[in-house]
Structure 1
Amino acid sequence: MIIEDEPMVAMFIEEALELAGASSFDIAATEADAVAFAAKHRPEVITSDVRLVEGTGPRAVKQIHDQLGDIPVIFITGTPFECDEQNMSPVLMKPVTLNAVMEAFEKVAPEGDGCSN
């Protein structure tokens, strides 16, 4: 799952994840959409911005974790200082490179090809 409210950034992240081996995606622009999409299709990995046009990525991730259990997360944000200091998820700062996204995904993704997001 990609939680990102900027369409061009979401497409960039999707491309990086595809190159790293991911095969399916839900893209959510709001906190509520992210939670709803996850309830319908449990993601294996989540990438999330922090600030969204409606809500925040970390709150969406918390709700998803509360409902579905632990799912690996990569935060990709222009505001890394807003990520929880106790969070053990990778945090990539925008602007981000394809290689940085791919490497982070490869570190957190469940083993096996065709990981769904």
Structure 2
Amino acid sequence: MGVSAVTRSQGHALIIEDEILIALEVEALLAAQGYSSFDIADSPQEALSCALARAPDLITADFRIIGGTGLEAVEAIEAKLGRIPTVFVTGNADQLANARRAIVDKPISPRRLAEACQQALDSRA
């Protein structure tokens, strides 16, 4: 793939995406970075439920999802768990101009996703 792995031994990622093929692509790319467990949610409610059951080390989220937005999902999760490194993987980057988070445009570049994940992890302080 040409993407260097981040040091994320047994990291857990929450993928908020309502298109299963894209969710599985993100999962494979994160696995290549060293993440070892995943939850996939397609709505804000399911995302919150997954996060409360197992707190993620990283969240990736599409903007438009079933029943709301990925931004709403992340805000609900962070209201309960505190700030979590987040990368928005979306075709609607213009909708996230004020989100102050890493954004990866679709179609997904493996290198850009790896860089955005590292950026999100570095800025969690």
Q: TM-score range by the shorter chain?
A: 0.7 to 0.9
- Residue 47 of structure 1 is matched in structure 2 by 60
Letter in 1 for 2:116: A
Q: Which runs of 4 or more aligned residues in structure 1 lie more than 3 Å from their structure 2 counterparts after TM superposition?
A: none
Report the CA distance between 1:84 and its aligned residue: 4.6
- Residue 89 of structure 1 is matched in structure 2 by 101
Do 1:50 and 1:58's aligned partners in 2 also have CA atoms closer than 8 Å? Answer: yes
Give unmatched runs, 5+ long, in structure 1: 111-117
1:81 is paired with a residue whose SS is helix
Of structures 1 and 2, the one scoring higher in RCO (CA 8 A, sep 6+) is: 1
Do 1:35 and 1:63's aligned partners in 2 also have CA atoms closer than 8 Å? Answer: yes
TM-score by length of 1: 0.87
TM-score by length of 2: 0.82
Report the CA distance between 1:108 and its aligned residue: 2.6
Q: Give aligned-pair identity as a percent.
A: 36
Letter in 1 for 2:121: A
Question: Larger strand proportion, structure 1 or 2?
Answer: 2
Q: What is the CA RMSD across the aligned residues, in angstroms?
A: 1.3
Of 50, 70, 76, the residue aligned with 1:37 is 50
1: CA distance between counterparts of 2:72 and 2:85? 15
Aligned length in residues: 109
